[in-house]
């Protein structure tokens, strides 16, 4: 199969990666193919459905022009330092240049690599389908994200807590360069590599940035916008380690991620986040912490270290201003405001506090503001009614008109998100051999602003998912 690869990362020195071919699997079967994304990449979906395409997605054949590698990086995981991580179960086939620029094509779950640290290098079906659904839903909601091109069943078994079916996800990203990539070379005092990495990232993601200081500023601003979007949708990443923060400012590595059902700022779904480090409300401050690690990694490139520390500290602390501005714009749109007033942040926060008291449904309440059904999903009606009167007065001052305000709310508040209980039902059905529910949920969640009779519903008490799990 011919794919027009143009592999810039593989052209960097060998210490940036390990040359690594995927490990073939026994009996691959195509489960899902993203036709629209394939076309955006300049690829023919029909060709990808052939035996040659399946062999590529399964890792059974390396297409002509590919330079398969596994990338090296380090990272702080839950605050603890790990000097070498790297792609322990992923192989980057190469890069293609499509309608939206340069994109990585990576196989996730493609077998052991030099960075596997004793792991099997494989993925199982559940996390593959979760990442496919959630990443594509995020893209449909306008959130910068990695994308899912294909999901393949391997015909092999994987052992986690029990025996589960194996699968491989073909992931597409603007790049897979992480904060941890800079940390990897900083820890090795490899200033030359840091310089090459800065030049590569500038050329690829921030061509207007002139040097490390401007690159840091660009990344801080982009990450502030990304995290604000997460918050506006009730999304919890779950594992905001520095190796899971990309320099492309895309949401990457959907492990134990989830969307809020009932709202509370302290909500945690990740089974491995036992102390709430990456709780919903903590995500902005964790982003600042991660960006501070990036800034540290850039210091060796600065001639005046003392001045750079002061400058970089100011840049990283500037995250708060960028984030708050974006948060207010996004949440303002969620309540129908196209202009901002001094007290709008307090008005929005007051509604969030009402929801938090009884963990009322985040998505249904905000969506219900446009059609009058929000009150049906709020437990403390007196408090909500009081807020509602304040909100109506604020809408009148906004002056955009009811029709425009409703339209703004309806395109800012999804009616359908990948709710945890639906994702779990999809996985259970798929493990049993039925992919119909997956395809139905995929169709619904990639039209997130269109109400859906099944996938728009909140979980019943017995359906609530309290924890999500990493697939490794």
Instruction: Give a three-class secondary structure readout of the chain.
Output: CECCECCCHHHCCHHHEEECCCCCCCCCEEEEECHHHHHHCCCCHHHHCCHHHHHHHHCCCCCECCCCEEECCCEEECCEEECCCCCCCEEEEEEEEECCEEEEEEEECECCCCCCCCCCCEEEHHHHHHHHHHHHHHHHCCCCECEEEEEEEEEEEEECCCEEEEEEEEEEECCCCEHHHHHHHHHCCCHHHHHHHHHHHHHHHCCCCCCHHHHHHHHHHHHHHHHHHHHHHCEECCCCCHHHCECCCCECCCCCCEECCECCCCCCCECCCCCCCCCHHHHHHHHHHHHHHHHHHHHHHCCCHHHHHHHHHHHHHCHHHHHHHHHHHHHHHHCCCCCCCCCHHHHHHHHHHHHHHHCCEHHHHHHHCCCCCHHHHCCCHHHHHHHHHHHHHHHHHHCCCHHHHHHHHHHHCCCCCCCHHHHHHHHHHHHCCCCHHHHHHHHHHCCCCCCCCCCCCCCCHHHCCCCECCCC
Q: Taking 90 as the threshold, does the pLDDT of residue 460 lie above it? A: no
The residue assigned the tokens 């059974």 is 60
Give me the pLDDT at residue 285, please: 98
Give me the pLDDT at residue 160, please: 87
Give me the pLDDT at residue 413, please: 98
Give me the pLDDT at residue 470, please: 63
Mean pLDDT, range 417-426, rounded to an integer: 96
Q: What percent of the chain has pLDDT over 70?
A: 98
Give me the pLDDT at residue 188, please: 97
Q: Taking 90 as the threshold, does the pLDDT of residue 171 lie above it? A: yes
pLDDT digits (tens, 9 = 90+) for 53-101: 999 999 999 999 999 999 999 999 998 999 999 999 999 999 999 998 9
Active-site residue, from 87, 243, 261, 361: 243
Give me the pLDDT at residue 2, please: 81
- Nearest-5° Cα angle at 351, 346 to 353: 90
Give me the pLDDT at residue 469, please: 67
* Residue that wins the pLDDT comparison between 114 and 470: 114
Give me the pLDDT at residue 100, please: 86
Least confident of 80-89, 192-201, 271-280, 318-327: 271-280
Are the C-beta atoms of 269 and 467 separated by less than 8 Å? Answer: yes
Q: Taking 80 as the threshold, does the pLDDT of residue 412 lie above it? A: yes
pLDDT digits (tens, 9 = 90+) for 390-409: 999 999 999 889 999 999 99
pLDDT digits (tens, 9 = 90+) for 24-39: 999 999 999 999 999 9
Give me the pLDDT at residue 439, please: 98
* Tokens coding 351: 């509604």
pLDDT digits (tens, 9 = 90+) for 89-145: 999 999 999 998 999 999 999 999 999 998 999 999 999 999 999 999 999 999 999
Give me the pLDDT at residue 317, please: 98
Give me the pLDDT at residue 472, please: 59
Give me the pLDDT at residue 272, please: 84
pLDDT mean across residues, the chain? 95
Displacement of CA 183 from its chain's centroid (Å): 21
243 is catalytic: yes
Q: Taking 70 as the threshold, does the pLDDT of residue 471 lie above it? A: no
């Amino acid at each position: 199969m011919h794919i027009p690869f143009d592999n810039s990362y593989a052209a960097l020195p060998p210490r940036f990666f390990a040359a690594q071919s995927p490990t073939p699997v026994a009996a691959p079967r195509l489960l899902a193919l993203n036709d629209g994304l394939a076309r955006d990449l300049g690829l023919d979906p029909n060709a990808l459905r052939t035996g040659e395409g399946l062999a590529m997605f399964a890792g059974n054949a390396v297409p002509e022009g590919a330079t398969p590698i596994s990338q090296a990086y380090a990272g702080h995981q839950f605050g603890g330092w790990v000097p070498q991580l790297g792609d322990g179960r992923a192989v980057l086939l190469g890069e293609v240049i499509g309608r939206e620029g340069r994109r990585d094509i990576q196989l996730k779950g493609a077998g052991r690599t030099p960075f596997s640290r004793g792991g099997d290098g494989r993925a199982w079906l559940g996390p593959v389908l979760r990442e496919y659904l959630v990443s594509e839903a995020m893209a449909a909601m306008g959130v910068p994200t990695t994308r899912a091109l294909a999901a393949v069943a391997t015909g092999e078994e994987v052992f986690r807590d029990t025996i589960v079916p194996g699968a491989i996800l073909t992931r597409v990203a603007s790049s897979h360069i992480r904060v941890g990539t800079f940390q990897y070379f900083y820890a090795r005092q490899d200033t030359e590599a840091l310089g090459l990495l800065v030049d590569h990232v500038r050329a690829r993601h921030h061509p207007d940035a002139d040097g490390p200081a401007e690159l840091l500023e660009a990344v801080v601003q982009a990450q502030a916008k990304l995290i604000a979007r997460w918050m506006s949708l009730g999304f919890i990443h779950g594992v905001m380690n520095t190796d899971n923060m990309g320099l492309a400012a895309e949401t990457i590595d959907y492990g134990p991620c989830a969307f809020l059902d009932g709202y509370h700022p302290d909500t945690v779904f990740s089974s491995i986040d036992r102390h709430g480090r990456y709780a919903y409300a903590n995500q902005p401050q964790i982003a600042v912490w991660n960006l501070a690690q990036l800034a540290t990694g850039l210091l060796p490139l600065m001639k005046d270290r003392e001045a750079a520390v002061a400058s970089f500290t100011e840049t990283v602390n500037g995250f708060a201003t960028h984030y708050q501005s974006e948060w207010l714009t996004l949440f303002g749109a969620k309540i129908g405001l196209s202009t901002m007033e001094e007290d709008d942040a307090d008005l929005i926060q007051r509604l969030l506090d009402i929801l938090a008291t009884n963990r009322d449904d985040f998505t249904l309440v905000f969506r219900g503001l446009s059609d009058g059904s929000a009150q049906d999903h709020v437990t403390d009606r007196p408090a909500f009614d009081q807020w509602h009167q304040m909100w109506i007065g604020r809408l009148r001052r906004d002056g955009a008109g009811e029709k425009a305000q409703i339209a703004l709310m309806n395109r800012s508040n999804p009616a359908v998100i990948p709710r945890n209980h639906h994702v779990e039902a999809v996985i259970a059905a798929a493990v049993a051999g039925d992919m119909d529910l997956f395809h139905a949920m995929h169709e619904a969640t990639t039209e997130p602003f269109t109400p859906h009779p099944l996938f728009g519903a909140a979980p019943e008490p017995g359906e609530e998912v309290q924890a999500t799990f990493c697939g490794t």
